[in-house]
Amino acid sequence: MRHILSTVQRYDTRTVCLHWLTAGLVIILWCLGQTIDWFPRGVPRIFARSTHISLGAVLALVLLTRIWWRLTGGEHLTALGSRTVQSLAKAMHMALYLVLLAAVILGVANTWVRGDNLFNLYKIASVAPGNKALRASVEDYHAFAANLLLILAGLHAAAGLAHQYILKDGTLNRMLPTRTRH
């Protein structure tokens, strides 16, 4: 097994950074999205919502950068394992990208439909003021996409850990930051 671990290709630094930045933003955004209503109305809730919207915008930029990098210069490593495992890995990555894109688009739509106040500095006008049904619908779809994304990311992480600790094939090492690689 040592031989397999030492010969496994690794993703380039930009791909690794974009992957972990995406993962961190998704976790932070999901946690914040789940707790926004816990903040008292007024400045604390405006700050929480504004932070969620701002980090969502950062996630959108990271996602666009990831897609651009993947299409133009990022490493494209073949999944390790059988053809079935490779097909599952490819399907999971495609699902992650699609659901992440959906969550981001629905987040933007949610902000436009409801309108919002960014840090008490800028007011985003609602495109459908008073349309509570549309507002509830878009918010529900955004929450569904975010929850589905977290489930898929959890399965993705579990697969990486299974590869690392059960199959011991070095898959996880391909995506670890350089300074923590073995």
Q: Would you state the pLDDT for residue 181?
A: 45
* CATH at residue 100: 1.20.950.20
- pLDDT, one tens digit per residue, over 47-77 is 999 999 999 999 999 999 999 998 997 777 7
Q: If 0-12 CB within 10 Å is exposed, 13-18 middle and 19+ buried, where does residue 154 land?
A: exposed
* Range(s) of the domain holding residue 155: 2-180
Segment (H or E) for 116: strand 116-118
The type of residue at 117 is N
Instruction: Check whether 98 has a pLDDT greater than 80.
Output: yes
**Beta carbons within 10 angstroms of residue 4's beta carbon:** 12
Is the whole model's pTM more than 0.85, yes or no? yes
- pLDDT, one tens digit per residue, over 117-152 is 999 999 999 999 999 999 999 999 999 999 999 999
The tally of domains found in the chain comes to 1
The HSE-up count of residue 109 (CA atoms within 13 Å, CB side) is 17
Q: Would you state the pLDDT for residue 182?
A: 47
Say what percent of the chain tops pLDDT 90: 72
